[in-house]
Chains A and B, each alone.
Chain A
Amino acid sequence: DTEVTQTPKHLVMGMTNKKSLKCEQHMGHRAMYWYKQKAKKPPELMFVYSYEKLSINESVPSRFSPECPNSSLLNLHLHALQPEDSALYLCASSPHPLGGRDNEQFFGPGTRLTVL
Chain B
Amino acid sequence: AQSVTQLDSQVPVFEEAPVELRCNYSSSVSVYLFWYVQYPNQGLQLLLKYLSGSTLVKGINGFEAEFNKSQTSFHLRKPSVHISDTAEYFCAVTINFNKFYFGSGTKLNVKP
Asked if A41 and B100 sit within 8 Å, CB to CB, the answer is no
CA distance A103 to B95 in the complex (A): 11
B98 interface residue (CB < 8 Å to A): yes
Q: Which residue in chain A gives the minimum CB-CB distance to B43?
A: A107
Cβ–Cβ contact A41 & B41, under 8 A: no
Q: Are A104 and B45 in contact (CB under 8 A)?
A: no
Task: Report A31 CB to chain B, min CB distance, Å.
Answer: 7
A contacts with B, residue count (CB < 8 A): 28
Q: Which applies to chain B's interface (DSSP): helix, strand, loop or mixed?
A: loop
In the complex, chain B residues whose CB is within 8 Å of the CB of A97 = 98
Prevailing SS type, chain A contact patch: loop
Within 8 A of A (CB), among B63-93: 90
C-alpha spacing A60/B107, complex, angstroms: 28
The reply to whether A41 and B105 contact each other, CB–CB distance below 8 Å, is: yes
User: Is there an interface contact between A101 and B103, defined as CB atoms closer than 8 Å?
Assistant: no
Flag if B41 contacts A104 (CB, 8 Å). Answer: no
B2 located at the interface, meaning its Cβ lies under 8 Å from any Cβ of chain A in the complex: no
CB of A101 within 8 A of CB of B51, answer: yes
Tell me, rounded to whole Å, the shortest Cβ–Cβ distance linking A43 to chain B: 6
- A104 contacts which chain B residues (CB < 8 A)? 46, 49, 97
Assess the A48–B44 pair: CB atoms within 8 A. no
B42, CB-defined interface residue at 8 Å: yes
**What residue in chain B is nearest A110 (Cβ atoms)?**
B43
Instruction: Determine if B102 and A42 form an interchain contact, defined as CB atoms under 8 angstroms apart.
Output: yes
Report Cα–Cα, A56/B98, bound state, in Å: 10
Interface string of B39-68 (1 = CB under 8 A from A): 001111110010100000000000000000
Give CA–CA (A43, B46) in the complex, Å: 14
